[in-house]
A and B are shown apart, each in its own frame.
Chain A
Amino acid sequence: MLFPTVEYALFFLLTLGIAWPLTRWLAWHNGFLLLVSYVFYGFWNWAYVPLLFGISLFAGLVAQRIQRSTQAVVRKAWLVFGVIVCLAVLVYYKYTGFLLQNLLELWRHVGKPPALQLESPLLPLGISFFVFHAISLLGDVYREKLKEPVRIPDALLYVAFFPQLIAGPILRASDFIPQLAKSPDPQAIFVNRGLMLIVIGLVKKVIISNQLAVALVDPAFAAPQALAGPDMLLAVYGYAVQIYCDFSGYTDIAIGCALLLGYRFPDNFNRPYTATDPQDFWRRWHISLSSWLRDYLYIPLGGSHGGRWFTSRNLMITMLLGGLWHGASWTFVIWGGLHGGYLMVHRLWAALPWFTRLRTSIAWRWIARLLLFHAVCAAWVFFRAPSLQQALDVFARFSVSGPLTLAGGSVVALLLLGLAGQYAPARWHDALEREFCRWSAPMRGTAFATVLFAIELLGPSGVAPFIYFQF
C-alpha cells in the first residue's frame, strides 16, 4: 500500500477513527495498531506476514533473555546470537543471489565452476528496515538504554508499526517502546504539524519527485548514450532532487501519520544539500540510518578512538556496509565507498591548521556546499545506474557537447524548487503551524482537502513506488 493512494487514505482514516476511542484501553489500542500494521504489510503479500511476526517475536524473546541475564557473558552471548540470526535472515533474503553469483565469479579464477541453477528468494518488502529495528531492540536492551522490561506485544508493534514499516525512519527501541507504555493523550495531538508534514510529503513525492522521474531522470538513465552532456548533467542534478524528495517525502508522510496517531518519530532529513562537508551531510541525510550505523557499527568497530588510519578504516567499513545495505549490487558498494572516501578525505583536510580559519568564511561555506553537492551527485550516479558500465557511460557523456533536449521549463522549475526548498527557513514552517492553530477545525479540514485536490491535479497520472521500497 503506497502512501499517496486512495487505499492508504481510506485505511488511515479508518485506523484513526478506531484508534483514538481505543486509547482508553491501552492493550486494546496497541493490539489494534499491531493488527492494522499486519494488514498494511499483508496488502503487499500476506505470505510474508509470518516472517515479519517471526522476526519481531524472536527479537522480543531474545531481548527478554538479555534483560533477565545477570552475567555479562551470557548477555553478550544472547546479543550475538540474536544479531546473527537477524542478519542471517537479511542475508538469506537479500544477498543469496548476489553472494552465489560472486562466488562463482571468483571460482572462475581458480577453475571451471560447476553449472548451477541459481534462484534467489523473493525479497520481502521493507526487510532491511524491520531487521534493523529488530537489531536496534537487541542493542538498546543490551546497552541498557531501554530500562523498561520488554513486553512481547510492544516488541511486535515496535518492529511492525505501519508508518515506518516499509521505509523507515529507523526508530530506536529506546525512543519508541517507552511511548507504548501509555496511551497517546487524546487532548494533545499535533494535528497541524502532522497534516502539514503529510501535505509537504505529498508535494515532494507526487509533484516534484514523480515529475522529475518521468520527464527527466528515467529517460536519461535508460540510455545515456543517446544524450549529450547538458542533458546528462541536468538528469544527474534531477536525480539528486528526485531521491531527496522521494525519500524525505515518504518520511514526512510517515512522521505526519504517526503524529496524528499520537506518536513521535525522529527527524530523518534536515536540508541535506545545504551541508558544507561530508560529515555534516550524513548528519542531515537519512539521519536514522546514519546514526544507526554510527551507534551499532562504527562505534563497536572502535570509532575514532585509535588514530587516523584506524578511524579511516572504520569509516570505510561502515560506509561500504551502509552501501551494501541499500542493495545487493556492486554499484551500491561503490556509492558507499565514495562516501567513505569523502569522509576520510574530509577528516584529513579538516585537521590542517589553515583550514580551521578558512572554514569560517561565508565564501568558503558556499564553495564547500557547491563542491560537496557535486561530490554527492557523482556518487548518486552509481546509486541510480543499473550497472557499473552504465554509470561510467553517464560520466562519459558529460564531455559530449550538444543541446539540452530533455527538460522543459516546468521540469527545470521543479528541480530548482526542490533545491531551493532546502534553504527555506525553519521559522516559516513554525509560523504556518501557529497560524493554522488559529483556524477552526472545519476551516482546516476544508483547506487540507483543497490542497490535496490541487496536488492530485498537478501530479502526473500514476504514482511510482517510493525508491526506498526496494531496500
Chain B
Amino acid sequence: MTEPRHPLTDSSRSLGWLLSVFVLVIALFESGGLRVWAQRLEIGPWRSIALPVADTLHASLAPLGIDGLRQRTLANLQKLRRNDAPATAPTTVAATCAATPSANPWTLITPPASSFLTPFSAHTATPMPGTASAPAPASSIDTSALSAITLPLTTELPPLPAKHSDGPRLVALVGDSMMSVGLSATLLRGMAGHPELKPLRAFRSGTGLSRPEVFDWMHEYPVMLDGQRPEVIIVAIGANDGQGFVVDGKVLAFGTDEWIAVYEARLTQFLDMLTRDGARVIWASMPPMRNAKHNQRMLDINRIAYQVVSQNPHAYWWNITPYVGDPDGQFREFAQEQDGSVTRIRATDGIHLSDQGAALFTPTLLHWLESSAEPASADIHRPSNPVASP
C-alpha cells in the first residue's frame, strides 16, 4: 500500500514541466544578460562553449525586442538609484560588492558581476584598445625587455598641484579590490580628521584593465566621479589582470608580446584619462602575493605599470613592497615589530592587505597629502628597513 500523497506536493513529472517552462521564459527575458554573463567568463573552455550558445540564443531572440526593454529598464533603475543617493553622501556610485576577500586568487579573475546578469552600465566612452571598436596597438616592451625592467624601491613625489577652489582638496581613491579591501578604509579613516581633504570613492572589487568587457573603467570612472575633478588620485589596481583576454576573436595568453602590447595601451589610455585635468596620480604597486604563480604575474603587471606610469609626467609609480614585503621583498602575512608585537598585515587570502597592512604606508601618503602645495618636493618617506624589490 502506498502512502497518501501530501496535498502540497508535486510529482517529478510536474517539476520537470515547471522547470522546462521556467528555462524557456527566463531565456526569453534574459538572453541579453546570459550573453553578457558568457562574455565575462574567464577565458577558457567553459567560455568557448557558453559564448556561442549565448550568442546564438541572443541573436535569435533579439527581434522580439525584450532585451532592449530590459536594457532600458536597467538604465532607468540605475538612474533612479543615483538620484536617490543623498546629495551630501561622501561617496559616488562606486560599489564594493566583493569586499570579503576571495580565498582563491583565480576566483578574483571572475568579477562578482559575472555572478548575476546585470551589466555595469550603458554609458558610452572611448573604447579601450583591443576591443571590437579599437585596433590592437604596437608594444614598446616585449617579454624579454619586461623581465629586464628593474622596479625602483622609492619614488620622489612632486609638489601637490594647486587647488581648484577654496574648498577641500579632492582626493580620488581608484582601483579594484586592492583599493577597496584594506587600503581605502585606512585612507578614508586617515582623511576623516582633515577637513581640507575630501575623498572620492571610485573603486570596485572584481575589476581590472585587462577585461573591459567585464568592467570598462573608461566608461565607469567618469560615472563614479559624477563630474567632480580630483586633484590627487591614488590608484591600486591590477590584482585581477593576470589573465588572458580575447582581441578580435583571438585569445591572447597572459604575458605574450601581443598581450603586453594591448595591456600597455589600455593602461596608458586609462592613465591619460586620469591625468587629463592635471591631477597627480600615485600608482601603488601590487604587493607580493602568497601564491607563487599569482606573485609572478603581479610582478609582470608591476613592470608594465611602472613602464607606462614613468612616461606620464603627472603620474608616479610607488612601490609598496618595502613596506609590506619581507626583507627579501617576498610575501609576508604578519609583521613583527622591534618589540616583538605581531600584526596581521595581509588578509587570509594571501592577496589583499589588511587594515594594519595598509596602515604601514598610508601615514606616508597622508603626510604627503597634508603637506603644503608649495614645497619643491615631498619625498615619499622611506620605510625604516628598505628592502630589495624583486
Contacts and interface: CB of A to CB of B under 8 A. Distances in A.
A460 B334 contact: no
A187 B5 contact: yes
B212 interface: no
Contacts of A116: 336
A266 B74 CA distance: 37
A428 interface: no
Nearest to B185: A222
B383 to A, nearest CB: 17
B30 interface: yes
Interface in A10-52: 13, 16-17, 20, 23, 44-45
Interface stretch (A286-294, A343-351, A398-406): A398-406
Interface in B135-179: none
B103 A122 contact: yes
Contact of A464 (B8, B21, B112): B112
B11 interface: yes
Contacts of A213: 96-97, 99
A222 B184 contact: yes
Interface string B321-361: 00000100000111010011111100011100011100000
Interface string B191-223: 111000000010001100000000000000000
A29 to B, nearest CB: 12
Contacts of A189: 9-12, 14-15
A463 B40 CA distance: 14
B111 interface: yes
Nearest to A413: B84
B326 A117 contact: yes
Contacts of A45: 103-104
Contacts of A187: 5, 9, 11-12
A386 interface: yes
Nearest to A262: B12
Interface residues of A, number: 93
A11 B33 CA distance: 18
A125 interface: yes
Contacts of B86: 404-408
Interface in A98-118: 100-101, 104-105, 107-108, 112-113, 115-118
Interface stretch (A250-258, A268-276, A318-326, A442-450): A442-450
Contacts of B336: 104, 115-116, 118
B305 to A, nearest CB: 25
B289 interface: no
Given A44-B104, A44-B107, A403-B88, A97 B334 contact: yes
B79 interface: no
A1 to B, nearest CB: 9
A410 B189 contact: no
A406 B17 CA distance: 46
A464 B98 contact: yes
A386 to B, nearest CB: 5
Contacts of B22: 445-446, 448-449
A44 B332 CA distance: 24
Contact of A108 (B17, B98, B341): B341
Given A122-B290, A222-B189, 4 more contacts: A101-B342, A112-B340, A453-B26, A464-B98
Interface of A: 2, 4-7, 13, 16-17, 20, 23, 44-45, 97, 100-101, 104-105, 107-108, 112-113, 115-120, 122-125, 185-193, 195, 206, 210, 213-215, 218-219, 222-227, 260, 386-387, 390, 403-411, 433-434, 437, 441-442, 444-446, 448-450, 452-453, 456-465, 467, 469-470
19 contacts: A7-B115, A117-B332, A118-B333, A119-B334, A187-B11, A189-B9, A190-B6, A191-B9, A214-B97, A222-B188, A226-B191, A260-B15, A405-B88, A408-B86, A410-B80, A441-B14, A445-B17, A446-B25, A448-B18
